[in-house]
Amino acid sequence: MKLIIGGSTGFVGAELIQQALSHPAITTVVGISRRETPAPAESPSTTAKLVSVVCDDFEHYPDHVKKELENADACIWTIAVTPAKLKSSSWEETVKVCRGYALAAIETMAAVPRKQDGPLRFIYINGHFAPRDRSEVTQPMDSGILEMALLRGKLEDEILAYADQTNNALVACIAKPGLISAPDRKVPSIPGLPQIERRDIAAALLHQAVTGFEKDMLSNDDMIRIGQSALSK
Ligand SMILES: NC(=O)c1ccc[n+]([C@@H]2O[C@H](COP(=O)([O-])OP(=O)(O)OC[C@H]3O[C@@H](n4cnc5c(N)ncnc54)[C@H](OP(=O)(O)O)[C@@H]3O)[C@@H](O)[C@H]2O)c1
């Protein structure tokens, strides 16, 4: 199968690339980012499966980028302004990257030619906390993070609604991890916010991309369960 990873240069994207390259069911991995996707040093024998696509415009895809998206079976979308980078991004830029790029991606992927009969599977990685309105916010929090969480909460509905009206050309799933840790990235304990290891979330999302969606929203616990089970096999 052909898998597209949007944001293949990021913290989660790099792990997805590495695991996807050694996944026997995945024959082509297209990493699409604003810069080249480095081939992981650990998997030299499988890097032939990797296609690095640099995209200069995530709102209006150039034709040569659209061509690389044709005949895909699944996409995992990781591009966003993360809370750590929020202060260095204007609100306008944050909305464009978090919402505009995700919606343009799903619309573009639903429109490019595909030979397959089954739907393209689109996984959008959001965060654990994504309220639909302010009444769901029960404790004080940074106003910038709150506005972004509200934006991305509404975006979950927009993505699922978009998929619903594609006549099964595309199906969508929202992944809702808590803080993501890695051996070289320990994360602080924050009350009410779960944690997941990067290898587990990557394995879970690849499993869902390959086998189909268990449900349209995956919680942190769902992804630990699915990811650890996939890694144990
Ligand atoms: N890390 C966590 O603990 C955590 C927890 C919960 C949810 N998440 C979610 O998981 C997803 C991935 O997070 P991550 O930690 O992997 O983030 P990341 O390391 O910052 O990677 C984000 C990706 O988006 C790209 N990107 C950012 N701004 C861009 C822009 N203006 N134009 C084009 N590309 C842009 C980055 O490209 P460059 O590499 O060129 O910067 C990178 O490929 C996000 O949706 C995040 O909210 C993360």
pLDDT value at residue 138: 81
CATH number of the domain where residue 151 is located: 3.40.50.720
Count of domains forming the chain: 1
Amino acid at 64: H
Q: What is the 3-state secondary structure (H, E, C) of 208-220?
A: HHHHCCCCCEEEH
Confidence at residue 45, expressed as pLDDT on a 0 to 100 scale: 74
Provide the Cα torsion 224, 227, 230, 233; round to 10°: -60
Q: Is 230 exposed, middle or buried (0-12, 13-18, 19+ CB in 10 A)?
A: buried
Whether 35 lines ligand 1, by a CB cut-off of 6 Å, is yes
pLDDT of residue 42: 74
Query: Per-residue pLDDT for the chain (233 aa), expressed as one digit of tens each?
Result: 999 999 999 999 999 999 999 999 999 999 999 999 999 887 667 789 999 999 999 999 999 999 999 999 999 999 999 998 999 999 999 999 999 999 999 999 999 999 999 999 999 999 999 998 888 888 888 899 999 999 999 999 999 999 999 999 999 999 999 999 999 999 999 988 999 999 999 999 999 999 999 999 999 999 999 999 999 98
52 lines ligand 1 (CB under 6 A): no
Distance 87 CA to ligand 1 centre (A): 14
Whole-number pLDDT of residue 68: 98
pTM of the model: 0.97
Mutate to test the pocket of ligand 1, among 12, 148, 181 (most ligand atoms within 8 A of CB): 12
Cα→Cα distances 99→40, 113, 114, 198, 230, Å: 29, 24, 25, 23, 30
Q: Which structural domain, as residue segments, surrounds residue 109? A: 2-232
From 15, 34, 94, 155, give the residue whose CB has the most ligand 1 atoms within 8 Å, as the site to mutate.
34
Distance 11 CA to ligand 1 centre (A): 7
Ligand 1 atom closest to 179 (CA): 3
Pair 2, 20: CB distance under 8 Å: no
How many angstroms does the Cα of residue 143 sit away from the middle of ligand 1? Answer: 20
